[in-house]
Amino acid sequence: MYRVIRIATEKGEDLRKKAIQGKFLDTSRKIRKVRTEEGNFLEIPVTEAAGERVEGFRVFEQENPEFLEKPGSLKESLKSLLSEAELASVPAGWQILGDIIIVGIPEILENKKTRIAEALLLMYPKCRTVVRDFGIEGQFRQPKRELLLGSGTETVNKEHGCFFKQDVTKVMYSKGNLQERKRMSRLGEGEIIVDMFAGIGYFSIPMAVHSRPKKIIGIEINPESFAYLKENIRLNKVEDIFVPICGDCSKVAPEGTADRVLMGYVGTTHHYLGPAIKALKKSGGILHYHETVPEGLARTRPQERIEKAACKLGKKVEILETHRVKKYSPGVFHVVVDARIYE
Ligand SMILES: C[S@@+](CC[C@H](N)C(=O)[O-])C[C@H]1O[C@@H](n2cnc3c(N)ncnc32)[C@H](O)[C@@H]1O
């Protein structure tokens, strides 16, 4: 929240000096005149350190704050508020989705999290919300996040000519997968596609928008992601070719229909190789198989898993390409293998 004290104009200068001495003047915002039902006042911007009252004056939440200038960097703007040790832990990066800033804040900065959120909003005046990120959990890939500033957590992120509506506290959106989303947007023209782990349409919406496959069947198990998938199909105007299905892809994936199957899920993806291969046309097709794998096994384990699953179904495999999507954790990479499955 942006705090202010409202004071009669003639007393404003005295209070401003007291706020400087008391170290609670917020120098990032403008002192400005306001007209209210109770009369005309000066609004003196103050920090959290001012508490609820200052010398008998109530502290208000300011509407539409006006900022003096864009701070150079997050660390720079927090210099006067944080100790040396705290400054060393200030996050160096964050994600912006639509008008929402998502930031990981270490435990040591717990009691400075609101100040950090305020500083970030100053840097990005077009953003309206800051949420703290604690990572992604479980099969549904749900993020653990805390709202720090602002109210709405739903936004529309525009990327590569596509719209992705989402609630950042309910669904994930990996910035590290951007190149893969772009790569998928160049594939699939005129084909029948099955996206086994569609999420909110991360890979199949760019494909639908840019490559115009004949048909995309997008399967998603998490009802919250599924609701956004349907919304994104509508927002991107691809209803004519996109069929969303809510369910477990190992049970509801069609058989013998696809030219190409997307498997954009990591952790236990290999368990779904059987249904993915069965979803391809009898004569075969292409798999995009994702896996998180220790670096030393990146050129063997995913390929062997595909070969084993194909062999069980009496199919052959040609490995077309293996590449890194991103670093997943120390020594572990998220890779994607493109494989041609044939009779
Ligand atoms: C990790 S997300 C995709 C993220 C994407 N790669 C990106 O760019 O951010 C994978 C999705 O698969 C869904 N999922 C997991 N298991 C599934 C299953 N058995 N059937 C269908 N969807 C599933 C999850 O709910 C999640 O939305």
For the CA of 139, the closest atom of ligand 1 is 15
CA–CA dist 59, 76 (Å, integer): 26
Average pLDDT over residues 154-167: 94
Q: Are residues 138 and 109 in the same domain?
A: yes
Collapsing DSSP states into helix, strand and coil, what is residue 232?
A: helix
Residue count (the chain):
343
Structure confidence by residue, pLDDT tens digits, 234-253: 999 999 999 999 999 999 99
Residue 68 lies in a domain: no
Count of structural domains within the chain:
3
110: domain CATH number is: 3.30.300.110
Burial class (CB in 10 A: 0-12, 13-18, 19+), 159: middle
Q: Which residues form ligand 1's pocket by a CB distance below 6 Å?
A: 139-141, 172-174, 177, 181, 197, 199, 202, 219-222, 225, 248-250, 264-265
Nearest to 191 by CA among 241, 260, 243, 262: 260
Q: What is the CA radius of gyration of the chain?
A: 26
pLDDT band at 92 (very low <50, low <70, confident <90, very high): confident
Q: Does residue 160 sit within a domain?
A: no
pLDDT digits (tens, 9 = 90+) for 261-303: 999 999 999 999 999 999 999 999 999 999 999 999 999 999 9
CA 301 to centroid of ligand 1, rounded, Å = 21
Q: Which of 216, 178, 220, 175 is nearest to 199 (CA)?
A: 220
Claim to verify: residue 221 and residue 317 sit in the same structural domain: yes
Q: Is the pLDDT score of 340 beyond 90? A: yes
Span from the CA of 196 to the centroid of ligand 1 (angstroms)? 8
Place of tokens 């890939």: 141
Domain that holds residue 103: 74-152
The answer to whether residues 112 and 231 belong to one domain is no
Q: What does each C-alpha distance from 125 to 3, 156, 178 come to in angstroms?
A: 17, 17, 24
**In angstroms, what is the span from residue 189 Cα to ligand 1's centroid?**
23
Q: pLDDT tens digits, residue range 200-234? A: 999 999 999 999 999 999 999 999 999 999 999 99
For the domain that residue 20 is a member of, what is the CATH number? Answer: 3.30.70
- For 60-81, the pLDDT digits (tens) are 877 766 666 555 689 999 999 9
pLDDT > 90? residue 2: no
Residue 64 has a pLDDT of 64
Taking the model in full, what pTM does it have? 0.78
- 304 and 271 both lie in a single domain: yes
In a domain, 161, yes or no: no
Q: Which of 133, 174, 221 to mutate to test the pocket of ligand 1 (most atoms within 8 A of CB)?
A: 221
Kindly state whether residues 226 and 106 are assigned to the same domain.
Answer: no
